[in-house]
Amino acid sequence: ESGVITIDPGFKNTGSTQSAITFLDGEKGILRYRGYSIEELAEKSTFLEVSYLLIYGELPTPDQYQEFTKTITNHTLVHEDIKKILEGFPSTAHPMGVLSSLVCAQTAFYPASLDPNRAAPEVDMSIIRLLAKMPTFAAWSFKNQIGHPVNYPDNSLDYCSNFLKMMFATPAEAYEVDPVVANALDKLLILHADHEQNCSTSTVRMVGSSHASLYASISGGINALWGPLHGGANQAVIEMLENIKKDGGDTKKWMAKAKDKNDPFRLMGFGHRVYKNFDPRARIIKKAADDVLAKLGVNDPILEIAKGLEEEALNDSYFVERKLYPNVDFYSGIIYRALGIPTDMFTVMFAMGRLPGWIAQWKEMRENKEPIGRPRQVYTGYNERAYAPIDKR
Ligand code: SDX
């Protein structure tokens, strides 16, 4: 009706679009990418194959997959001017801030506003370039933070192995990628690849709705993901578990803090806007954490603290009533840590995983010719009043 405006803070009951990419059932804990279950994809697919599926809608044929992965490999190098931008950042810069800047800086090299309805190669090349360069940007944001020289991509390696080598190799010694680590990382990226209209994806769609470039839209998504209520939670979970460990592992005390309305502390990694049952990704990651730590011979005491916290929360009426379960961020940090990924890089890993989903959603929004996002408001400020000169105030 004209004139009636309903306010829906956080859009808890507002649908922003129609999408054929990802299906969630929050009650049943179901997650599917283009109809394929997350359980099957995590078990049988690869991150680049899932990226192709999300962006182009179908699993690739062998030729399509070969072409896709080869083209990505051939675009991992970034313009040397990007390195100059990187060198401008202090080592105190958080990798997420560096990453969103480098991604946005790509607009300096490519068409500002890409119209998917124009020649396909233009859009496809932008997508390829972004998928190809993200690991390079991510690894370089880490090298900047620790004051080490960057590593150039090694096109003889697969996607995750190349990233790990750029992250951890130093000129001082040889570096061999551990396939267990590369495989675990590939699975984690699959689990983060898309999640319908979450905060960062809605941001990518909003920025893209003004016909800003794919790079500028993704840069917006990276910044939205950074918040501790969203992708930043995986870093906040580890910091919380470390605090509990320092505090003698007293999980009961921290549970009480999480339930105390006067205490701003929340149990990070718990709760979800859509999942009112188990987050299916949390189940898979929890099992993977046991497998990967065992394979790597890592015994991390905070894994036991995390399991203890989960056990208590699942039997605590406050959490049960509010249907608060572990979400994707609760166990992921424990695996990242076992893989040698530093805590400040956890949300960067989330961004690397979510990239194909953001791209797919941006492409769908543009192909569907969706209008620029521009919500209304209910005004609650002053009625009209006359200007008072400063000597009369
Ligand atoms: C991600 O949307 C997506 O799909 C996101 C994501 C993706 O893949 O893109 O799944 C990734 O962001 C996962 C969520 C990571 N964030 C955290 O783990 C941070 C901790 N969780 C919460 O801040 C919270 O649960 C949210 C942000 C995830 C969801 O918030 P909502 O839906 O706005 O729920 P709410 O804040 O209104 O909470 C409902 C009730 C409140 O209590 P009451 O006011 O009803 O008494 O539950 C309480 C909250 O106080 N509550 C918690 C809690 N989460 C919610 N209490 C203690 N600890 C928590 N973690």
Q: For residue range 9-29, list pLDDT tens digits in order.
A: 999 999 999 999 999 999 999
Nearest protein Cα to ligand 1, atom 2: 198
Angle 280-296/179-191 helices, nearest 10 degrees?
170
Binned at pLDDT 50, 70 and 90, residue 118 comes out as low
Annotated catalytic residue within 186, 194, 279, 329: 329
Interior angle at CA 109, CA 57 and CA 149, nearest 5: 95
- Predicted confidence at residue 125, as pLDDT, reads 85
The Cα 371–Cα 355 span in angstroms is 23
Least confident segment among 55-59, 186-190, 219-223, 301-305 = 301-305
| Nearest residue by C-alpha to atom 35 in ligand 1 | 273
Classify residue 287 as left (phi > 0), alpha (psi -120 to 50) or beta.
Answer: alpha
Q: Which of 186, 272, 279, 316 is catalytic?
A: 272
Q: Which one of 199, 229, 312 would you pick to mutate in the ligand 1 pocket, going by the greatest count of ligand atoms within 8 A of its CB?
A: 229
Q: Answer yes or no: 272 catalytic.
A: yes
CA of 271 to the centre of ligand 1 (A): 4
Tell which one of 266, 277, 325, 330 to mutate to probe ligand 1, the residue whose CB is within 8 A of the most ligand atoms. 266
Q: Is the pLDDT of residue 115 over 80?
A: no
**CA–centroid distance, residue 152 to ligand 1 (Å):** 39
Task: Give the sign of the dihedral formed by CA 160, CA 162, CA 167, CA 169.
Answer: positive
SS3 at position 185: helix
- 30 by DSSP, 3-state: which? strand
pLDDT > 70 in the chain, percent: 96
Instruction: Return the pLDDT at 126.
Output: 86
pLDDT tier for residue 119 given thresholds of 50, 70 and 90: very low
Decide if pLDDT at 248 tops 60: yes
Atom of ligand 1 nearest to the CA of 266: 58
Better-predicted residue by pLDDT, 257 or 107? 257
Cα(268) to centroid(ligand 1), Å:
8
94 is catalytic: no
Mean pLDDT score across all residues of the chain:
93
Q: pLDDT over 90 for what percent of the chain?
A: 91
CA distance 5 to 377: 7
Atom from ligand 1 closest to the CA of residue 231? 12
Instruction: Ligand 1 pocket test: pick from 194, 327, 328, 330 the residue with the most ligand atoms within 8 Å of its Cβ.
Output: 327
ipTM above 0.90, yes or no: yes
Q: Which residues line ligand 1 (CB under 6 A)?
A: 10, 195, 198, 229-231, 233, 258, 266-274, 322, 324, 327-329
The pLDDT confidence band at residue 333, using thresholds 50, 70 and 90, is: very high
Question: pTM to 2 decimals?
Answer: 0.94
Dist. CA 328 → ligand 1 center (Å): 12
327 pLDDT tier (thresholds 50, 70, 90) = very high
